[in-house]
Structure 1
Amino acid sequence: MEQIPLIVSTDWLEQNLSDPKLRIVDATTFMEMSENGGPPSVYSGKASNEEAHIPGAVYADLLNDLSDPESPLPFMVPPRNHFIEKMTRLGIGDGNYTVIYDQGALVENPVVAAYWASRLAWQMKYEGFENIAVLDGGLPKWKAEGRPLTAVPGNYSPASFTGQRRPELLATKEDVQQATGDDNIVLINSLSPEDYRGETDSYPRKGHIPSSINVFFGSHADMETKGMLSDAVLREPFEKIGALDPNKKVITYCGGGIAATWTSLILNKLGQKNVAVYDGSLNEWASDPSCLLVTES
């Protein structure tokens, strides 16, 4: 089976809908920002999926099924066996390829990025699943182009899985602490410039991790076409900070390890393979008074 690109177009997906080896997954989770600048509210996209989805798509619930139920932090990587059992029950495993999409990053601005899809793609790669792609523009682009939708539930036969976990894709708090003093590691904050400067109340403490550089996850999509910007445009901010240097490692983080996976996906697309995601991100870092945060660049 040929390796599919990391990101596939709506044209490509529609042309391949009938392929029996294709698995389509809707990873929609909804996030609404607080009006007073506090923590956002998050809820499952399962009901929305049941109303309409891309033909064949099954729903993967990142919030309720694919996060660690024992962690005090949201959206942390669950135990390996738990994740694999959920995915293989959906029909995803050896011998097929998977395209993941969502309905948009934020309720207020759904076209910002497909970061829920990228989160599931990253978790799958971390556990050793292969041949995974994210749909460029997600459901907003698919719908805007008038492509087919259905309310008929997707249904794939349960699968088997033999892949191995890739621990190099995940960064811990201790890894990030070491990275702040290492010139060979580029630490990227994927949040908004306002979050980076400590001008919001979204996290227990304000600011960003020392030495980290801000590249906002929402700056990579075209608001008109709903698709990703060209590689030439995407490359500019990352080249400026040395994140595409093949001799360096990159660690991405955000608030809860979601948007950081979108940044990681783009870096992979641009050729940087040595990228890890700080899973706990600011939810963990800002909750620990011993971890320094700064507000100046």
Structure 2
Amino acid sequence: MNDIPLIVTTDWLAERMGDPDLRIADATVFMNFPEIGGPPKVESGRASYEQGHIPGAVYADLLGELSAADANLPFTVPSRDVFVDKMTQLGIGDGTYTVIYDQNALVGESVAASYWASRLAWQLRYEGFDHIAILEGGLQKWQAEGRRLSAEKTSYPMASFTGQRRTEMLATKEDVQRAIEDENTILINSLSPDEFRGNRPDDPRSGHIPSSENVYFGSHADEQTKTLFDDDQLRAAFEKSQALDPDKKVITYCGGGIAATWSALLLNKLGQPNVAVYDGSMNEWASDPSCPIVKSET
């Protein structure tokens, strides 16, 4: 159980189906982007899960149950007690290992990235649970290979969860403000190049945090096959930013702290252990007029 890769293939999962220690979790949330701009419409993936999921999967509700209900921002981490209670109910905890997937559910855009799965995986590691893998290509790849789906409701025995919270994995607005002038901290903006440049006429606060580098979260896998690019190609995407320097600290951010977890996961995969996610991301940063934002043409 200690040698689980950060990302596993569909073959890897299929070979382990039926293992009593295995847990499978569907973390899908749907984001529907309007054609004329504006914020996306966010919807639970539960109904889609109920129609068909990988056999043995439970549904982990990031939208309704695993984000802070009383926060001013969407998708920020809930209290530890709330999160751990839900994980133990799902059967995820000590003595188990979990494969997490999603449906690549960015409606209106073609992106191959399991960022909802990586969000749940990041939250689990943040709370001290390491026996987690992301399913490469998610449900789309599983289905494309002709593998079986199930509509049966799944449940596991209640688990115990004894890991400790790793506060260093979460960056605050104040951490980011300090990082702007800190040459030993690399800020990675995970949004699209257009969003990074601030090409949003409907949003005067679009753009990026000063000193941050743009490495688009949707550029790391083949859009057709959903297969992740090899490590050399992944490494090339991050090298210019110096984010792979083991002597640097890296903070990833995006719009709301979801895609940033995919970037953080890939940095971990490439050997950079010192990565934090700015949980509030641009949702928080842009809402504070005192926080500077840069627009650029290139």
Question: Which TM-score band (shorter chain)?
Answer: over 0.9
Aligned equivalent of 1:21: 21
> What SS does the aligned partner of 2:221 have?
coil
Answering whether residue 182 of structure 2 is matched by residue 182 of structure 1, we say yes
The aligned runs of 1:74-89 (5 Å cut-off) are 74-89=74-89
Q: Which of 232-241 and 173-182 deviates more?
A: 232-241
The aligned runs of 1:3-18 (5 Å cut-off) are 3-18=3-18
> Structure 2: 5+ residue runs without aligned partners?
none
The aligned runs of 1:10-49 (5 Å cut-off) are 10-49=10-49
Counterparts of 1:204 and 1:163, CA distance in 2:
42
Aligned equivalent of 1:60: 60
| 1:152-205 alpha-carbon deviations (Å, 9 max, x no partner) | 111101111110000010000000000000011110000001100111267671
Aligned equivalent of 1:238: 238
The aligned runs of 1:87-106 (5 Å cut-off) are 87-106=87-106
> What SS does the aligned partner of 2:293 have?
coil
Contact 2:126 2:167 in 1 (8 A): yes
Aligned equivalent of 2:283: 283
> What SS does the aligned partner of 2:85 have?
helix
| 1:197-224 alpha-carbon deviations (Å, 9 max, x no partner) | 1112676711100000100001011012
Q: 1:110 to 1:63 in 2, by over 3 A?
A: farther
Q: Which of 194-203 and 169-178 deviates more?
A: 194-203
* One-letter identity of the residue aligned with 2:136: D
* One-letter identity of the residue aligned with 1:221: A
Shift of 1:3: 2.4
Counterparts of 1:108 and 1:257, CA distance in 2:
20
Q: 1:201 to 1:44 in 2, by over 3 A?
A: farther
Shift of 1:107: 1.6
* One-letter identity of the residue aligned with 2:258: I
Q: Which of 77-86 and 200-209 deviates more?
A: 200-209
Identity of aligned residues (%): 66
Counterparts of 1:204 and 1:150, CA distance in 2:
46
Answering whether residue 158 of structure 2 is matched by residue 158 of structure 1, we say yes
Q: Which of 195-204 and 210-219 deviates more?
A: 195-204
Shift of 1:276: 0.2
Aligned equivalent of 2:223: 223
> Structure 1: 5+ residue runs without aligned partners?
none
Shift of 1:111: 4.5
* One-letter identity of the residue aligned with 2:219: S
Counterparts of 2:291 and 2:149, CA distance in 1:
47
Runs of 4+ in 1 over 6 A off after TM superposition: none
Counterparts of 2:173 and 2:9, CA distance in 1:
35
Counterparts of 2:14 and 2:188, CA distance in 1:
34
Counterparts of 1:6 and 1:91, CA distance in 2:
20
Shift of 1:110: 5.8
* One-letter identity of the residue aligned with 1:52: G
Considering only aligned residues, what root-mean-square deviation do their CA atoms show, in Å?
1.2
> What SS does the aligned partner of 2:106 have?
coil
Contact 2:69 2:78 in 1 (8 A): yes
